[in-house]
Amino acid sequence: MPFNGGTNRNIKMNRVLLTGTRQSVIDFFFENMTQDFDFMTSSVRARDLERHIEVYSPHIVLYCISDEDPDEKIKIEKIYRHLPHDKLFFGIAGIKQQTIETADFTIQKPLNVVSVRQIMAPYLNSSEAQAVITTELSVPQDETQKEDSSAKALPDNIQRKHILVIDDDPLVLKVLREHLHEKYDVAVARNGNMAYRFLDDHRTDLILIDYEMPGEKGPSVLTNIRKLRWAQNIPAIFLTGVTDSTAIMEAAKAKPQGYLLKPVDKEKLFSKIQEILGY
């Protein structure tokens, strides 16, 4: 059974499967992070991992590393090849420096609760969990700094809207979430399958979706989402670096409410969202 230390929070989509060879790193998460995440552990054996992923359905598999072992990188690469990347994210915790690229994100030593929350938050599909984590990360703005008019906080009497960001690039997910979280509730998905899983149990007010993704492209994903009865008229904005007229015509068939070129300009992003959502 998973160890659950956060009984008063919605953690349905906030599960983390811990594996690896560094017990002290695994202990850190159980001792310090159970109010943010629901954990289960697994050995590094392929069959054990497959079984735990099947039964537990984690959104993140986190490998806790002993980077003194010269064979550790080979073990990680073997695990990475067998993971269902259309269903989960893969992270590495406990490395001394950025020496391993086979991961969606890495958490370097020394481990710190605040920095761990900040690194992992963009990879959670639970808006409730993200809100808890990012609220604790908020830092008061220096009085000498100019206020960012594109991302002003909402008045207390206006309910926050929810935005789902679908993009295969973890860096894009992280940047967009950092832009948006002060004003909107945000969830992320790396592909259509992750988005469908999220929308089975959640609602969203707007979708930001990458046009060019491996496997199922953005227009197809959006078309499938709109087959849901509640999502037939859901607004969407395509994020794209593609300017080819044929591609644009294909995207237009999905009837998006707009397009934004990558890299996404923050001012244009907020302007377009405000145009659609009203604030």
pLDDT confidence bin for 89, thresholds 50/70/90: confident
Calculate the CA 257 to chain-centre distance.
23
pLDDT confidence bin for 162, thresholds 50/70/90: very high
Distance CA 75, CA 248 (A): 42
- In this predicted model, what pLDDT tens digit does every residue of 90-144 receive, in sequence order? 999 988 766 666 788 889 888 999 888 878 877 776 444 444 444 444 433 343 3
Instruction: Give 138-144's long-range contacts (Cβ < 8 A, gap of 24+).
Output: 138/182
pLDDT confidence bin for 168, thresholds 50/70/90: confident
Residue 118, token pair as written in the block: 């900040």
pTM: predicted TM-score of the whole model, two decimal places: 0.61
- In this predicted model, what pLDDT tens digit does every residue of 248-275 receive, in sequence order? 677 677 788 988 888 899 999 999 999 9
- In this predicted model, what pLDDT tens digit does every residue of 226-235 receive, in sequence order? 998 888 889 9
Mean pLDDT of the chain: 79
How confident is the model at residue 11, as a pLDDT? 39
